[in-house]
Amino acid sequence: MKNILFPVLALSLWGSFVMVTPKENPESVRRFEDSKLLPAPEGHVLIKGQFIVQLSDKAVPSTKSVESAAKRAQTREEKQRTSEENAKKSGQLISAFTQKYNIQSVKIKQTYYHAFSGFAAELSEEEVEALKKDPNVVSIEPDVEIQLSPGRELVETPMAQSTPCGITNAGGFADGSTKGTWIWIVDTGIDLDHPDLNVQTTSPFAVSKVGGTADDCNGHGTHCAGTAAAKNNGLGVVGVSAGAKVVPVKVFASCTTPSSPSSTIISGIDHVAAHDIAGDVVNLSLGGPFTGTNCSTSSVYRTSVTNLSNTGTWVAIAAGNSAMNAANYQPACVNATKVVTVASMACNKTFASSYSNFETSAAGPIDYIATGSSVLSTYKNGTYATLTGTSMATPHVAGILHQRNALPLNGGSVAFSGVNYIIAKK
């Protein structure tokens, strides 16, 4: 939200994505500022010859540009019609655009119609140079592979309901089961039949962008869903917005060592933009390192998240687990009215300095802090697990946003290195 984007799954140090601290490269910063071609982030595997191309809304209108705040859909059905109509029109325009540059359809990996307009494709150096000169091209980003590292967690079988300390620190829980708005979990999927979750399992909403079903065989996405919205049913745990509908958008496939191109993660965000309505919440316990000192004004992460925010959807983003300045990471550094970045604290309300990204002044980009250390929540195969990371802190705030349809209240503060972090409270 504050003033202040390349792809870390800001998951826990234990049972989470591991972030690699980027080294600032002055040449990369210069190219980032002076060219449409954004630099590849350090610390990730570059997918050689594959790029994400963002087109201007003037050339190819995205659903979000058509659905302005004043004209946004009021129902899922209305939103579905708007998205389908726009995808048909934009699809024709993108097809004509790629044909103009003789980009073969077999080389196109993803097409984006909703959060922004564009495509991901295998491109030659000559094609990249030609696209850079096109006035309708906003940016061209190298595609990278985001990897999930194996970690530790305590897995438990179903048990009598308890209220984790993170929920208490967030001001307790409230009923979210009757709300018409949803919490979208862009992650490893969700355990579709977990007894403690109210999962939206039907198409076209629940989706896997990596093949198969949206079921979670890793556990991370299910853990986030439980903190935000586990049922108040006497079983296991309870979430902040208890019983709220959670929607899986699976962007990571493997059960043991998941990895995914950033283009696929962006496709998951684009999917939400096709089906969200005002008051929905998106939980992004993910992201990546940014090589430079400021967010790009043209990155597809920034465009996607900002466009969701502009039409009434709340976005909660993990600050990251590198114990570094969050301003150097995206999407954590994104600033928009309904976008909040979340740092992590322990149950005793002390800053999780061993892993949580931080900020160097009250200017940002972190908006709130929530409990992320040793968080008990729902897990794969109907079980429960304890995980740690800013990924675990973020869904506390997602639940608050869903419950309030407003920014969190001030639940006090946590001081660290001269900065006071506001504790998010329901």
Q: How do residues 73-87 score in pLDDT, each as one tens digit? A: 889 999 999 999 999
At 3 the pLDDT is 45
At 74 the pLDDT is 84
- Comparing 408 with 362, which gets the higher pLDDT? 408
* Rounded Cα–Cα distance for residues 278 and 308 (Å): 9
Q: Quick check: 16 pLDDT over 50?
A: no
At 67 the pLDDT is 86
Active-site choice (44, 220, 223, 396)? 220
- Backbone φ and ψ of 385, nearest 5°: -150, 160
The yes-or-no answer on residue 391 being catalytic is: yes
The domain spans of the chain are 26-145, 154-425
Q: How do residues 235-271 score in pLDDT, each as one tens digit? A: 999 999 999 999 999 999 878 777 889 999 999 999 9
At 426 the pLDDT is 96
The overall average pLDDT reported for the chain is: 88
The yes-or-no answer on residue 196 being catalytic is: no
pTM of the model: 0.91
Indicate the fold that domain 154-425 takes in CATH.
Rossmann fold (3.40.50)
Q: What is the pairing mode between strands 108-112 and 117-122?
A: antiparallel
For the chain, what percent of residues have pLDDT higher than 90?
74
- Which of 103-117, 155-169, 218-232, 289-303 has the weakest average pLDDT? 289-303
At 12 the pLDDT is 36
Of 3.30.70.80, 3.30.1330.40, 3.40.50.2300, 3.40.640.10, the CATH number of 26-145 is: 3.30.70.80
At 347 the pLDDT is 97
How many angstroms separate the Cα of 14 from the Cα of each of 112, 236, 278, 323?
33, 21, 34, 14
Q: How do residues 124-171 score in pLDDT, each as one tens digit? A: 999 999 999 999 999 999 998 877 655 567 788 878 999 999 999 999
Same fold, 26-145 and 154-425: no
H-type helices in 3-62, by residue range?
26-34
* Rounded Cα–Cα distance for residues 3 and 291 (Å): 18
Beta strands in 101-177, from DSSP E residues, in sequence order: 108-112, 117-122, 137-147, 154-156, 174-175
Q: Is 51 exposed, middle or buried (0-12, 13-18, 19+ CB in 10 A)?
A: buried
Active-site choice (260, 304, 322, 391)? 391
Active-site choice (187, 191, 276, 367)? 187
The yes-or-no answer on residue 187 being catalytic is: yes
Q: Quick check: 5 pLDDT over 60?
A: no
